[in-house]
């Protein structure tokens, strides 16, 4: 592992130096540059930065593994996390860009002529962003501790300080160009092993073709995997276990949540004009698609390869004799056992690994889903430097998302709360100072959250999407497309959407008041999919309350006219 | 605002909504339709080695999404160019300014 350690250190340090170099080169001196990079980012670069902003450590490290274990059910993440960009490009981004200001609460506050609405939006934005950022910092810490033999705490602090440096110096401008660099690092790190594994397993260098291709004996890869899985007692890969209605609800919640997440929306404030916002959403989805179209292929390769090489293999050829036709457990299995991500227990004492669905006889007692991306380079027999690259890619994915979230938190506090509500006479310079201070404060909290992660980090990601889908998405959409929407309607809609969705997810996932299974769910909708129900309720409440309250004043009608006009 | 400009704005907005309606229908059909609701039937057919419904859920829908956004960006540019003369932007107050920065 020493060569791997060397290369990991090399890539991580080089990439950090690159990020800091970019930060120093893109220092900013005005709020305009700090919040939206002066509206000067070209659409292609914004697309790349959005892709890095959007794809977190979870997309990079965990998604392929998650799909590998859930087969068809994993489609909810693939469609949900990409389909939202269609909503963003068609329904939100160009109009918000034409609105021309800095943040999402800015739009809510102006469109709904109300500081109450603005404060509700600030609270939603901060809450959504903090739930997300804790997971990112933890990801950085784990990557450091696992691969660089540095304690988790030190890893989180180093990562936090690097983000702090480029976020406070360069604001959105610094974040944008580091995200462009981070995108390049992560996509190269993801694609290299994927291409080699595809070649090894299917003979095609294009993983997407490998997915629909045949294995050496001529059977389609997916059919072979289905057959292997059913033989071991698992459900077939191409069949799902979730109900159709739940799959529908989760997909829609993730789509609307994606379109309503403030750190994604603000990226579209940075391009020069509305037409660029549309184009840039296309580039963003293309860059995201490169990873998202490859991940399901990697998932199939990894699961197939795992069963083919590990199941019924001889664990230790030194003590057990190989019968003809048998093979030894691959080296990478032994190496990953040391990390605790994999564990084997020889229950029947035959010296061979039995991987089965039935927990009574299954001997692979621990199988962490992150392993499929992390171990890919070794499974494909790639040299040690590729592993280093994958680690640097995972850290890049986590840091780029953390930085985007950080900016949302700092701008919500300095711009929306301080400048627009509390101290209206503040100067630009003072606002910039507060923006930098609140970014620093947010990093410190994020570092703490990364070191002492709240136990429910994994489940709160569902919360972030559900809340965004049930609060921001309806409020922004109706604000653009329905002039009659009043401030009372917007506030009532956001608060109910937030309350209902939050309560549902807390009940099942965090406090466990009611058992979290399909029998006990409302209409059979899982907490992950409840954002859809929350969104429908929020729409209904917004419309009803708006119709019962006075219409918005003429200035607001003009504002809506203006953002709709080309 | 002159009579003609107001009419032109309405026509532009209607054209935009119409385009959006068509594209969002396609968005819905490839993901929620082919990938989820109609999957059991589509899976009876195969694309290469993959059941078609499964392929739409994990590949086809994403590919379509990318094309939809680029097409919308292109079509809107064309639409705006067509209306540019009748609409002009001289009378639209734009305090934050798209290019003001």
pLDDT digits (tens, 9 = 90+) for A289-320: 999 999 999 888 888 888 888 888 888 777 77
Beta-bridge mates of residue A87: none
Is A301 at the interface with chain B, CB within 8 A? Answer: no
pLDDT score recorded for residue A283? 95
Q: Is 80 exceeded by the pLDDT of residue A248?
A: yes
Q: What is the pLDDT of residue B28?
A: 95
- The Cα–Cα gap between A162 and A276 comes to 30
A562 closest CB neighbour out of B23, B62, B93: B93
Report residues of chain B scoring pLDDT below 70. Answer: 1-2, 88-101
For residue A319, give how far its alpha carbon lies from the nearest alpha carbon of chain B (Å).
41
Residue A385 burial (CB count, 10 A)? 17
Q: Is B21 on the interface with A (CB under 8 A)?
A: no
Comparing CA positions, the residue from A233, A228, B32, B58 lying closest to residue B50 is B58
Window A:179-238, CB contacts with B under 8 Å = 208-209, 211-214, 219-223, 238
pLDDT tens-place string over residues A146-177: 677 777 788 888 888 888 888 888 788 888 88
Residues paired with A342 in a beta bridge: A367
Question: Are the C-beta atoms of residues A109 and A115 closer than 8 Å to each other?
Answer: yes
- Compute the mean pLDDT over every residue in chain A, rounded to the nearest whole number: 84
Q: What is the DSSP letter of B46?
A: E
Query: What ipTM goes with this model?
Result: 0.89
Span A453-465, pLDDT tens digits: 665 555 566 678 8
DSSP at B100: T
* Domain range summary for chain B, segments of one domain joined by +: 3-87
Q: Does A98 touch chain B (CB under 8 A)?
A: yes
Give the mean pLDDT of A243-265. 90
Residue A504 to residues A250, A314, A521, Cα–Cα distance (Å): 14, 47, 9
Contact state of A562 with B23 under an 8 Å Cβ cutoff: no
Q: What is the pLDDT of residue B1?
A: 54
Chain B residues within 8 A of A562 when measuring between CB atoms: 92-94
CA angle A123, A124, A125 (to 5 degrees): 90
Residue A41 has pLDDT above 50, yes or no: yes
Q: Cα A412 to chain center, whole Å?
A: 21
Q: Is B77 on the interface with A (CB under 8 A)?
A: yes
Q: Residue B47, SS3?
A: strand
Segment A365-416, tens digit of pLDDT = 888 777 778 788 887 778 878 888 888 888 888 888 888 888 888 888 877 7
CA dist A154 and A12 (Å) reads 14
Contact A100 B35 (CB under 8 A): no
Determine what percent of chain A is predicted with pLDDT higher than 70: 96
How much is the pLDDT for A214? Answer: 79
Cα–Cα distance between A261 and A253 in angstroms, integer? 12
3 state DSSP class of A328: strand
Question: How close A295 gets to chain B, by Cα (Å)?
Answer: 9
Please list every residue in chain B whose beta carbon sits closer than 8 Å to the beta carbon of residue A296.
Answer: 58-59
State residue A467 phi and psi, 5-degree precision.
-65, -40
pLDDT tens-place string over residues A272-293: 888 888 999 999 999 999 999 9
> In this structure, what are the phi and psi dihedrals at residue A384, rounded to the nearest 5 degrees?
-55, -30
| Averaged pLDDT, A199-214 | 84
Q: Give yes or no for a contact between A393 and A384, defined as CB atoms under 8 angstroms apart.
A: no
Q: What is the DSSP string of A25-93?
A: HT---SHHHHHHGGG---HHHHHHHHHHHH--HIIIIIHHHHHHHHGGGGHHHHHHHHHHHHHIIIIIH
Longest CA–CA separation in chain B, Å: 60
| Percentage of residues of chain A with pLDDT beyond 90 | 16
Residue of A nearest to B14 (CA): A564
> Which chain A residues touch B25 with a CB distance below 8 Å?
none
Q: Which domains does chain A have, with CATH numbers?
A: 2-306+379-564 (1.20.1730.10)
Locate tokens 């559900």: which residue?
A466
pLDDT at A236 over 90: no
- Residue B73 has its nearest CB partner, among A83, A101, A278, at A278
Please provide the DSSP assignment of A457-521 as one string.
HHHHHHHHHHHHHHTHHHHHHHHHH-TT--HHHHHHHHHHHHHHHHHHHIIIIIS-SS--SGGGS
Q: How many CB pairs under 8 A join A and B?
A: 152
pLDDT tens per residue, range A319-377? 777 777 778 888 888 877 877 778 888 888 788 888 888 888 888 888 877 777 878 88
**Which of B12, B50, B59 is facing A293, going by the closest CB pair?**
B59
| pLDDT tens sequence across A518-561 | 666 777 777 788 889 999 999 999 999 999 998 889 988 888 88
DSSP assignment, residue B31? I
User: What is the nearest CA distance from B57 to chain A, expressed in angstroms?
Assistant: 6
Are the beta carbons of A408 and A27 closer than 8 angstroms? no
Token pair recorded at residue A479: 């604000």
Q: How far, in Å, CA of A364 to CA of A509, rounded?
A: 27
Mean pLDDT, rounded, for A114-140: 84
Q: H-helix or E-strand containing A366?
A: strand A364-367
Taking the Cβ of residue B72 and every Cβ of chain A, the question of whether any pair is shorter than 8 Å is answered with yes
Smallest Cα distance from A280 to chain B, Å:
9
**pLDDT of A94 above 80:** yes
Once rounded to an integer, what is the mean pLDDT over residues A195-214? 84
A356 inside 8 A of chain B by CB: no
3-state SS string for A243-263: CHHHHHHHHHHHHHHHHHCHH
Query: How confident is the model over A410-443, as pLDDT tens digits?
Result: 888 877 777 777 877 777 778 888 888 888 888 8
């Amino acid at each position: 592992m020493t060569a791997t350690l060397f290369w990991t250190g090399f890539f991580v340090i080089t990439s950090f130096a690159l990020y800091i170099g970019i930060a120093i080169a893109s220092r900013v001196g005005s709020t305009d540059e700090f919040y939206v990079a002066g509206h000067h980012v070209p659409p292609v670069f914004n697309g790349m930065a959005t892709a890095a902003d959007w794809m977190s450590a979870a997309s990079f490290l965990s998604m392929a593994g998650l799909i590998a274990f859930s087969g068809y059910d994993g489609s909810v993440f693939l469609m949900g996390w990409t389909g939202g960009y269609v909503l963003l490009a068609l329904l939100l981004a160009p109009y918000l860009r034409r609105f021309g200001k800095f943040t999402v609460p800015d739009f809510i506050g102006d469109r709904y002529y109300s500081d109450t609405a603005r404060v509700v939006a600030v609270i939603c934005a901060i809450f959504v962003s903090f739930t997300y950022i804790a997971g990112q910092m933890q990801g950085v810490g784990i990557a450091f501790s696992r691969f660089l033999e540095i304690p988790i705490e030190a890893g989180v602090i180093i990562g936090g300080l690097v983000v702090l440096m480029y976020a406070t110096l360069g604001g959105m401008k610094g974040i944008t160009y580091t995200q462009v660099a981070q995108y390049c690092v992560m996509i190269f790190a993801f694609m290299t092993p994927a291409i080699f594994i595809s070649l090894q397993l299917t003979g095609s260098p294009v993983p997407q073709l490998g997915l629909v291709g045949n294995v050496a004996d001529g059977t389609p890869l997916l059919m072979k995997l289905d057959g292997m899985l059913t033989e071991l007692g698992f459900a077939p890969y191409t069949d799902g276990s979730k109900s159709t209605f739940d799959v529908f609800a989760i997909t829609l919640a993730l789509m609307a949540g994606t379109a309503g997440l403030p750190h994604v929306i603000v990226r579209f404030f940075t391009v020069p004009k509305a037409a660029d916002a549309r184009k840039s959403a296309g580039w963003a989805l293309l860059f995201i698609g490169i990873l998202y179209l490859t991940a399901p292929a990697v998932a199939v390769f990894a699961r197939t390869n795992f069963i083919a090489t590990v199941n019924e293999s001889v664990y230790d050829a030194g003590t057990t004799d190989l019968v003809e036709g048998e093979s030894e457990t691959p080296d990478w299995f032994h190496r990953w056992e040391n990390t605790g991500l994999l564990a084997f227990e020889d229950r029947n004492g035959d010296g061979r690994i039995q991987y089965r669905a039935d927990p009574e006889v299954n001997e692979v007692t621990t199988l962490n889903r992150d392993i499929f991306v992390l171990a890919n380079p070794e499974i494909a027999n790639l040299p040690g430097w590729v592993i280093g690259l994958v680690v640097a890619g995972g850290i890049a994915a986590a840091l780029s998302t953390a930085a985007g979230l950080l900016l949302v938190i700092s701008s919500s506090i300095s711009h929306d709360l301080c400048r627009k509500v509390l101290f209206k006479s503040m100067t630009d310079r003072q606002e910039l100072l507060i923006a930098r201070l609140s970014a620093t404060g947010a990093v410190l909290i994020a570092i703490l959250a990364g070191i002492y992660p709240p136990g429910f980090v994994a489940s709160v990601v569902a919360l972030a999407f559900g809340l965004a889908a049930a609060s921001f998405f309806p409020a922004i959409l109706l604000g653009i497309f329905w002039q009659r929407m009043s401030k009372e309607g917007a506030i009532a809609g956001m608060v109910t959407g937030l309350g209902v969705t939050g309560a549902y997810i807390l009940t099942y996932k965090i406090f466990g008041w009611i058992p979290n299974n399909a029998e006990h769910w409302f209409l059979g909708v899982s907490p992950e999919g409840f954002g859809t129900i929350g969104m429908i309720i929020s729409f209904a409440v917004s419309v009803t309350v708006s119709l019962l309250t006075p219409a918005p004043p003429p200035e607001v009608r003009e504002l809506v006219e203006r953002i709709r006009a080309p | 605002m002159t009579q003609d400009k107001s009419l032109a704005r309405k026509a532009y907005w209607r054209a935009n909504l119409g385009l959006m309606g068509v594209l969002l229908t396609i968005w819905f059909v490839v993901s929620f339709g082919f990938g989820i609701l109609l999957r059991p039937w589509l899976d009876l057919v195969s694309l290469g080695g993959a059941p078609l419904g499964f392929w739409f859920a994990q590949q086809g829908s994403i590919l379509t999404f990318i094309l939809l956004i680029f097409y919308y960006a292109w079509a809107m540019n064309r639409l705006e160019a067509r209306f540019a003369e009748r609409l002009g932007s001289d009378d639209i107050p734009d305090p934050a300014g798209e290019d003001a920065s």
